[in-house]
Amino acid sequence: MLKANIAVFVSGGGTNLQALIDAQESGIIHSGEIKVVVSSQKDAYALTRAANAGIPGVAVVKKECGSQEAYEEALMKVLKEYDIDMIVLAGYLSILSGDFTSKWPNRIINVHPALIPSFCGKGYYGLKVHEEALKYGVKVSGATVHFVNEVPDGGQIIYQKAVEVQDGDTPEVLQRRIMEQAEWVLLPRATEKVCADIVKESAE
């Protein structure tokens, strides 16, 4: 069966990448296959996870490229090399330009650890999202998987899942609960949905 080729972009530990690898192995993701993991950091543990799963890993470091343009050219080169159909941003902390994202309409997805439009946009990533949610006193947070466009966290929403905020939550505890109950569930599901659409399009 025809499958869509997936690139996963990472920057750190790769817990969301692991959720995708596990979903591929269990058959949740069956319309696509992870062909390459691209890291913005050379020492990201996500690259070790990729290697353990037998998936090629590449580090493309913005500082070494000199400019955003050169950085994105280097990324495009990797994507061409692996004949990539879609990109999953899984804890990827570099911002992609509108020029880059416009080349991949409805082909780049991202997971955000809050219910967009809350606690999102420029500067909202990692623990900061959960710190702000707790500071605000929300009773429900969660995760959103959305398409990526030129506006940070501004693309069309694919899936959302609410997660209860509990008394005494720290940002770290809330982060973990949202990962387990929402991010690791939604991201594989959204990846499969987009892959299935790509396969259907190419068959038509």
Catalytic site includes residue 112: yes
Q: For residue 192, how far is the Cα from the chain centroid? A: 13
With 0-12 CB in 10 A as exposed, 13-18 as middle and 19+ as buried, what is 45?
Answer: middle
Cβ proximity of 22 and 181 under 8 Å: no
Give the number of other Cβ atoms within 10 Å of residue 52's Cβ: 10
Hey, which residues does 143 pair with through a beta bridge? 161
Per the document, the length of the chain is 204
Q: Which two tokens stand for residue 54?
A: 């037998």
Residues with Cβ < 8 Å from 166, sequence gap 6 or more?
173, 177
Cβ proximity of 91 and 73 under 8 Å: no
Torsion of Cα atoms, 122 then 127 then 132 then 135, to 10°? -170
Catalytic residue (choose from 30, 112, 130, 146): 112
Active site residues: 112
